[in-house]
Chain A
Amino acid sequence: MIKYLFNFIVFPGFLFTAVIGLAASWIDRKVTARVQWRVGPPWYQPFVDLVKLSIKEITVPKSASKPLFFFSPLIGLSAVILASTFIWLANMGSWSVGFSGDIIVVLYLLTIPAIALMLGASASGNPLASLGVSREMKLMLAYELPFIIILTVPIIKSGGILRLADLVLFQEANGAFVTSISGVLAILVGIFCMQAKLGLVPFDMGEAETEIMAGVYIEYSGMLLAIFKLTKTMMLVAMPVFLVTIFWGGFSIWKYVILLVVIILMRNTNPRVRIDQAMRFFWGKMTFIAAMAALLAVMGM
């Protein structure tokens, strides 16, 4: 029991992932700044931001449904902590606490932050937030379909393994899935879905600052906003590591850094797309490629 709590709260759950995530978000901000001819923040900036936000006043709109407004940030945070605990432990051999089917549990857990965000935003009763919610919801419907399809690729290729740790072991023995055609296609789709799940440009229409003024986050302030931001930062760790785990033969720092660089580049070389364009993209091209990958996996390629 103590071990589980330790795993959940300190390592590799909450504290560990949060620290890595904040460091990663600093890299993101620094690289973005350099790309844009700016100087960029010092390394401790994300930590300072978080601390500053936490001690600010929390304002609650009159029209808000209060319990939901207060609890949805916590729901999102706990889901991402649990998901990252599972994902990290799967990469640590004997530490693993996974069970058969934990890949499906993690899949669900990774959708909860977005759902919590929508719950909180719609609880705030702000029209701009509800516009953000409707976009976020459409976006989620769009990217979840190809994302679920590509998750079948490692399961098919490994002959039906549903346990994350066993998938890592299988790849260690038989080579990473990404070395096959179906694996390449799958991780390609996975990268786009990851960008959308992280809510970064070109898929940040849910919070589109210049259109709907931070949309879903508009009524959040202080500690509650800090928790949402922290959730997003931790997703910046959980999602890439999840992709590395199931497609790329387990975690290593350089694999994570490569995916991080891809995320940063994509977000700095694209404008925000419109929600209908995003849906067409995910339900059209991405679903097609994902289905191709699954088909190729069945054929053993």
Chain B
Amino acid sequence: MSKKVIPIGPYHPLQEEPEFFTLYVDGETVTDIDIEIGYNHRAIEKIAESKSYDQVTFLVERICGICSTSHPFAYSNAIDNLLEIEVPERALYIRTIIGELERIHSHLLWLGLAGHFLGYNTVWMWAWRYREPILDIFERISGNRNHYAMFKPGGVRRDLDEADFPWIKKTLKGLIPKFDMFKGAVIDDPVIRARTEGIGILTKQDVHDYSVVGPTARASGVAIDIRRDDPYAAYDRVDWKVITAEGGGVFAKAIVRILELYESTNIVLQCLDKIPKGPIETNIKDMPVGEGIGRHEAPRGEVFHYIMSDGGNGPARHKVRAPSYVNIASNKKAVIGETVSDATIILAAVDPCYCCTERMAVVDAKSGTKLMDGQDLIRLSQEKTARMKK
């Protein structure tokens, strides 16, 4: 059969976000892949420069709908780092609880989508059904199911009510048998194993070459986790371990995510037991001139926020790097040589999140020529930084 092009995207049932993979196929085998992102650029970093520090928390929360707390988490860490302040203990625990609950619902969402991509719609619906209790917990805690608006620089916005703790614990413990069910369904089901084992392999070397982060890296046996490597919030005050798996295929990625469900539940339960009483925020008066960085281990890997302050009301420069940006590139390694039927699940196995990954280029709409690409924009940005440093 002759060489053909199979387009996945920009609108494709595989993902609910615009992205464009061009698969070059020979029969069913993928021989090459082009990855194009940037269909939904929203200029978040630019908007951030026109907002006050407090408003930016809400802005970055809207970068992604699934891991909506990762960005405020990393952003708050960055501001705390810039201010060099001690965040109250209770706020640290609340941050940890929110972050881990989010990991649970994000991993369940991925599990459901993975089932859907494999044509296993029952797993899809069931995983999303058991995601609901987590969203209920969020609604009880914050009043919102998805954008919780809990974070602020120097603390959290809303306190947890001790009266809710027994109910939260009961709901979480009730989910553990369901996680067992999913674990059994993935590990024991011969057809799922046959479909996911040994495909989309990333070796340890590939992980280093592509700087892959998060569960995608941990599935290749590389134990990187910001929560342990650079402790923040209350992660060094509770007992948990970094989950890794060997193999690096889609199966290993699924196993890592499923086992992380248990760890996250464990962390939340410990935090609920240990959480101290006290204030939940610090009063921030002045913003000094300087820089701050914040990192957070989002469900998909490391989120990185950089804040530059000129002493004004809002950030002078705000830089976001989301984990999917590096993870998606690793698809080039994972997909080539596999079949088209496996390509979809491999592309989905990094749990890609396009909305936080978008980059832009300046294009002349009439002629369609590219006036500026990513490199030019980086150069512009560096020039601006240099001007400001003077």
A: residues with CB less than 8 A from B are 32, 35-38, 127-128, 130-131, 134-135, 201-202, 204-205, 208-213, 268-277
Contact = CB atoms under 8 A, between A and B. Distances in A.
B120 A201 contact: yes
9 contacts: A36-B124, A134-B1, A209-B13, A271-B120, A271-B123, A272-B120, A272-B195, A274-B194, A277-B195
Contacts, number: 85
A77 to B, nearest CB: 26
Contacts of B1: 134
Interface string B184-210: 000001011011000000000000000
A204 B119 contact: yes
Contact of A210 (B14, B125, B194): B14
Interface string B128-141: 01000000000000
Given A127-B6, A128-B6, A277-B194, A210 B117 contact: yes
A37 B129 contact: yes
A209 B192 CA distance: 18
Contacts of A135: 28
Interface residues of B, number: 34
Contacts of A211: 14, 117, 340-341, 343-344
Interface centre among B5, B13, B116, by most chain A C-beta atoms within 10 angstroms, is B13
Contacts of B314: none
B225 to A, nearest CB: 30
Nearest to A36: B125
Nearest to B113: A210
B341 A274 contact: yes
Contacts of A131: 4, 6, 25, 28, 340
Interface in B296-323: none
| The 4 nearest A-B residue pairs measured at CB | A272-B119, A36-B125, A271-B120, A271-B118
Contact of A271 (B6, B12, B115): B115
A149 to B, nearest CB: 24
A35 B343 CA distance: 28
B340 A271 contact: no
B211 interface: no
B339 interface: yes
Interface in B1-46: 1, 4-6, 12-14, 25, 27-28
Nearest to B130: A37
A209 B5 CA distance: 18
B13 A271 contact: no
Given A202-B119, A211-B340, A273 B129 contact: no
B52 interface: no
B191 A271 contact: yes
Contacts of B341: 205, 208, 211, 272, 274-275
A38 B125 CA distance: 8
Interface string B77-99: 00000000000000000000000
B192 A271 contact: yes
A127 B13 contact: no
A37 B120 contact: no
Given A35-B122, A127-B4, A270-B120, 7 more contacts: A36-B122, A37-B129, A201-B119, A210-B119, A211-B14, A269-B122, A271-B195
Contacts of A130: 4
B116 A210 contact: yes
B121 interface: yes
Contacts of B189: 271
A130 B6 CA distance: 11
